[in-house]
A and B are shown apart, each in its own frame.
Chain A
Amino acid sequence: GIQVEQSPPDLILQEGANSTLRCNFSDSVNNLQWFHQNPWGQLINLFYIPSGTKQNGRLSATTVATERYSLLYISSSQTTDSGVYFCAAGRGGMRFGAGTRLTVKP
Protein backbone atom coordinates (compact mmCIF):
# COMPACT_ATOMS: atom_id res chain seq x y z
CA GLY A 1 0.00 0.00 0.00
CA ILE A 2 0.87 3.66 -0.18
CA GLN A 3 3.40 4.91 2.38
CA VAL A 4 3.21 8.50 3.64
CA GLU A 5 6.10 10.09 5.51
CA GLN A 6 6.11 13.49 7.14
CA SER A 7 8.96 15.64 8.35
CA PRO A 8 9.96 17.04 10.71
CA PRO A 9 8.18 15.10 13.47
CA ASP A 10 8.41 18.04 15.86
CA LEU A 11 8.82 21.75 15.28
CA ILE A 12 9.10 24.58 17.80
CA LEU A 13 8.81 28.16 16.58
CA GLN A 14 8.64 31.64 17.97
CA GLU A 15 5.51 33.54 17.10
CA GLY A 16 5.96 35.32 13.78
CA ALA A 17 8.35 32.77 12.28
CA ASN A 18 7.74 30.89 9.02
CA SER A 19 7.88 27.12 8.57
CA THR A 20 7.73 24.41 5.91
CA LEU A 21 6.31 20.95 6.52
CA ARG A 22 7.01 18.13 4.08
CA CYS A 23 5.04 15.07 3.02
CA ASN A 24 6.46 12.29 0.83
CA PHE A 25 4.26 9.58 -0.64
CA SER A 26 5.30 6.36 -2.31
CA ASP A 27 2.86 5.98 -5.23
CA SER A 28 0.58 7.93 -7.54
CA VAL A 29 -2.53 9.22 -5.78
CA ASN A 30 -5.75 10.96 -6.74
CA ASN A 31 -6.20 12.55 -3.34
CA LEU A 32 -3.84 14.43 -1.08
CA GLN A 33 -5.05 16.49 1.86
CA TRP A 34 -3.48 18.47 4.70
CA PHE A 35 -5.17 18.64 8.10
CA HIS A 36 -4.62 20.44 11.38
CA GLN A 37 -5.69 18.56 14.48
CA ASN A 38 -6.33 20.97 17.32
CA PRO A 39 -5.84 20.20 21.02
CA TRP A 40 -9.49 19.10 21.26
CA GLY A 41 -8.95 16.41 18.65
CA GLN A 42 -10.90 18.08 15.88
CA LEU A 43 -9.58 17.56 12.35
CA ILE A 44 -9.54 20.77 10.36
CA ASN A 45 -9.27 20.34 6.60
CA LEU A 46 -6.63 22.77 5.35
CA PHE A 47 -6.11 21.83 1.71
CA TYR A 48 -7.23 19.32 -0.87
CA ILE A 49 -4.23 19.40 -3.18
CA PRO A 50 -3.44 16.33 -5.31
CA SER A 51 -1.37 18.63 -7.53
CA GLY A 52 -0.49 22.30 -7.96
CA THR A 53 -0.41 25.19 -5.51
CA LYS A 54 -3.08 26.73 -3.30
CA GLN A 55 -3.10 29.55 -0.79
CA ASN A 56 -5.44 30.37 2.07
CA GLY A 57 -4.40 33.34 4.15
CA ARG A 58 -1.12 32.63 5.92
CA LEU A 59 -1.12 29.03 4.72
CA SER A 60 -0.16 27.71 1.34
CA ALA A 61 0.55 24.27 -0.09
CA THR A 62 2.29 22.82 -3.11
CA THR A 63 2.13 19.26 -4.42
CA VAL A 64 4.53 18.00 -7.07
CA ALA A 65 2.76 14.79 -8.05
CA THR A 66 5.47 13.63 -10.47
CA GLU A 67 8.03 13.74 -7.65
CA ARG A 68 5.58 12.48 -5.01
CA TYR A 69 5.87 15.17 -2.39
CA SER A 70 3.84 17.98 -0.93
CA LEU A 71 4.82 21.00 1.13
CA LEU A 72 2.77 23.02 3.59
CA TYR A 73 3.95 26.56 4.29
CA ILE A 74 2.94 28.50 7.38
CA SER A 75 3.90 32.15 7.44
CA SER A 76 3.88 34.56 10.39
CA SER A 77 2.97 31.74 12.75
CA GLN A 78 0.63 32.36 15.68
CA THR A 79 0.16 30.47 18.94
CA THR A 80 -3.19 29.23 17.63
CA ASP A 81 -1.32 27.38 14.87
CA SER A 82 -0.04 24.93 17.49
CA GLY A 83 -1.17 21.35 17.14
CA VAL A 84 -0.48 18.38 14.90
CA TYR A 85 -0.43 18.67 11.12
CA PHE A 86 -1.27 15.56 9.12
CA CYS A 87 -0.79 14.80 5.48
CA ALA A 88 -2.97 12.07 3.97
CA ALA A 89 -2.81 10.57 0.49
CA GLY A 90 -4.35 7.74 -1.44
CA ARG A 91 -6.70 6.34 -4.02
CA GLY A 92 -9.94 5.70 -2.12
CA GLY A 93 -9.06 5.22 1.53
CA MET A 94 -6.22 7.55 2.49
CA ARG A 95 -3.04 6.70 4.35
CA PHE A 96 -1.98 9.26 6.94
CA GLY A 97 1.51 10.31 7.85
CA ALA A 98 2.61 10.26 11.48
CA GLY A 99 2.18 14.02 11.68
CA THR A 100 4.27 17.07 12.53
CA ARG A 101 3.70 18.41 16.04
CA LEU A 102 4.01 22.21 15.87
CA THR A 103 4.46 24.34 18.96
CA VAL A 104 4.39 28.11 18.52
CA LYS A 105 5.70 30.04 21.52
CA PRO A 106 4.64 33.62 22.28
Chain B
Amino acid sequence: NAGVMQNPRHLVRRRGQEARLRCSPMKGHSHVYWYRQLPEEGLKFMVYLQKENIIDESGMPKERFSAEFPKEGPSILRIQQVVRGDSAAYFCASSPEAQSSYEQYFGPGTRLTVT
Protein backbone atom coordinates (compact mmCIF):
# COMPACT_ATOMS: atom_id res chain seq x y z
CA ASN B 1 0.00 0.00 0.00
CA ALA B 2 1.77 3.11 -1.24
CA GLY B 3 1.98 6.04 1.13
CA VAL B 4 0.84 9.59 0.50
CA MET B 5 2.41 10.83 -2.71
CA GLN B 6 3.22 14.42 -3.50
CA ASN B 7 4.56 15.89 -6.69
CA PRO B 8 6.60 17.59 -7.67
CA ARG B 9 9.07 17.19 -4.80
CA HIS B 10 10.79 20.43 -5.73
CA LEU B 11 9.27 23.33 -7.63
CA VAL B 12 10.90 26.58 -8.68
CA ARG B 13 8.73 29.47 -9.81
CA ARG B 14 9.44 33.09 -10.64
CA ARG B 15 7.48 35.83 -8.91
CA GLY B 16 4.07 36.22 -10.53
CA GLN B 17 3.82 32.67 -11.86
CA GLU B 18 1.36 30.01 -10.71
CA ALA B 19 2.31 26.98 -8.63
CA ARG B 20 0.30 23.74 -8.62
CA LEU B 21 1.05 21.15 -5.97
CA ARG B 22 -0.46 17.67 -6.17
CA CYS B 23 -1.27 15.17 -3.46
CA SER B 24 -2.47 11.60 -3.91
CA PRO B 25 -3.80 10.21 -0.62
CA MET B 26 -3.29 6.66 0.55
CA LYS B 27 -5.66 4.06 -0.86
CA GLY B 28 -8.94 4.08 1.01
CA HIS B 29 -8.37 7.58 2.41
CA SER B 30 -10.91 10.26 1.59
CA HIS B 31 -9.71 13.04 3.91
CA VAL B 32 -6.87 15.32 2.81
CA TYR B 33 -5.08 18.06 4.74
CA TRP B 34 -2.54 20.63 3.58
CA TYR B 35 0.10 22.17 5.83
CA ARG B 36 2.82 24.75 5.18
CA GLN B 37 6.22 24.99 6.82
CA LEU B 38 8.04 28.28 6.37
CA PRO B 39 11.84 28.20 6.73
CA GLU B 40 12.94 27.56 10.31
CA GLU B 41 9.35 27.39 11.54
CA GLY B 42 6.81 24.77 12.54
CA LEU B 43 3.99 23.48 10.39
CA LYS B 44 0.79 25.49 9.99
CA PHE B 45 -2.56 23.98 9.03
CA MET B 46 -3.99 25.38 5.81
CA VAL B 47 -7.04 23.42 4.64
CA TYR B 48 -8.98 20.18 5.22
CA LEU B 49 -10.88 18.60 2.34
CA GLN B 50 -13.02 15.58 1.65
CA LYS B 51 -13.95 14.46 -1.84
CA GLU B 52 -15.48 17.49 -3.60
CA ASN B 53 -15.89 19.40 -0.33
CA ILE B 54 -13.84 21.90 1.64
CA ILE B 55 -14.40 21.13 5.32
CA ASP B 56 -12.14 23.71 6.99
CA GLU B 57 -10.13 26.41 5.23
CA SER B 58 -9.46 28.54 8.28
CA GLY B 59 -5.69 28.40 7.71
CA MET B 60 -5.70 29.40 4.07
CA PRO B 61 -4.50 32.87 3.10
CA LYS B 62 -7.48 34.85 1.83
CA GLU B 63 -5.97 35.67 -1.53
CA ARG B 64 -4.10 33.73 -4.23
CA PHE B 65 -4.45 30.31 -2.55
CA SER B 66 -7.05 27.69 -3.41
CA ALA B 67 -7.44 23.95 -2.92
CA GLU B 68 -9.60 21.23 -4.38
CA PHE B 69 -10.06 17.48 -4.02
CA PRO B 70 -12.12 16.29 -7.00
CA LYS B 71 -14.10 13.07 -7.20
CA GLU B 72 -11.37 11.60 -9.39
CA GLY B 73 -7.68 12.39 -9.21
CA PRO B 74 -5.35 14.02 -6.73
CA SER B 75 -5.90 16.97 -4.45
CA ILE B 76 -4.46 20.21 -5.85
CA LEU B 77 -3.12 23.19 -3.92
CA ARG B 78 -2.92 26.17 -6.25
CA ILE B 79 -1.01 29.36 -5.58
CA GLN B 80 -1.52 32.19 -8.04
CA GLN B 81 0.93 35.03 -8.61
CA VAL B 82 3.54 33.60 -6.25
CA VAL B 83 5.68 35.91 -4.12
CA ARG B 84 8.98 35.25 -2.33
CA GLY B 85 7.13 34.77 0.95
CA ASP B 86 5.39 31.69 -0.50
CA SER B 87 8.72 29.83 -0.50
CA ALA B 88 8.15 26.97 1.92
CA ALA B 89 7.66 23.25 2.25
CA TYR B 90 4.07 22.19 1.62
CA PHE B 91 3.00 18.92 3.22
CA CYS B 92 -0.09 16.93 2.46
CA ALA B 93 -1.62 14.35 4.79
CA SER B 94 -4.51 11.91 4.48
CA SER B 95 -6.69 9.96 6.87
CA PRO B 96 -9.05 7.00 6.43
CA GLU B 97 -12.62 7.06 5.17
CA ALA B 98 -13.93 5.32 8.26
CA GLN B 99 -13.29 7.58 11.21
CA SER B 100 -12.35 4.81 13.58
CA SER B 101 -8.92 6.40 13.58
CA TYR B 102 -8.10 10.05 13.03
CA GLU B 103 -4.40 9.41 12.42
CA GLN B 104 -2.96 11.48 9.60
CA TYR B 105 -0.33 10.07 7.27
CA PHE B 106 2.04 12.63 5.79
CA GLY B 107 3.63 12.80 2.37
CA PRO B 108 7.26 13.79 1.73
CA GLY B 109 6.37 17.40 0.97
CA THR B 110 6.87 19.76 -1.95
CA ARG B 111 9.63 22.35 -1.57
CA LEU B 112 8.55 25.52 -3.37
CA THR B 113 11.18 28.13 -4.15
CA VAL B 114 10.13 31.48 -5.56
CA THR B 115 12.89 33.43 -7.29
Taking beta carbons and an 8 Å cutoff, which residues of A are in contact with B?
1, 30-31, 33, 35, 41-43, 45, 48, 50, 86, 88, 90, 92-99
Contact = CB atoms under 8 A, between A and B. Distances in A.
B91 A90 contact: no
A94 B69 CA distance: 19
Interface centre among B46, B55, B106 (most CB of A within 10 A): B106
Contacts of A93: 33, 45-48, 56, 58-59
4 A-B pairs with the lowest CB-CB distances in the bound complex, closest first: A48-B103, A93-B45, A31-B102, A96-B43
A92 B109 contact: no
Given A41-B89, A92-B55, A99 B42 contact: yes
B84 interface: no
Interface string B38-51: 00011111111000
A1 B55 CA distance: 15
A103 to B, nearest CB: 16
A96 B42 contact: yes
B92 to A, nearest CB: 11
B44 A96 contact: yes
Interface of B: 33, 35, 41-48, 55-56, 58-59, 89, 91, 101-106, 108-109, 111
Contacts of B43: 86, 88, 96
Interface centre among A41, A92, A95 (most CB of B within 10 A): A92
Given A30-B102, A48-B103, A95 B45 contact: yes
Interface centre among B33, B45, B108, B111 (most CB of A within 10 A): B45
A98 B33 contact: no
A31 B91 contact: no
Contacts of B55: 92
A91 to B, nearest CB: 8
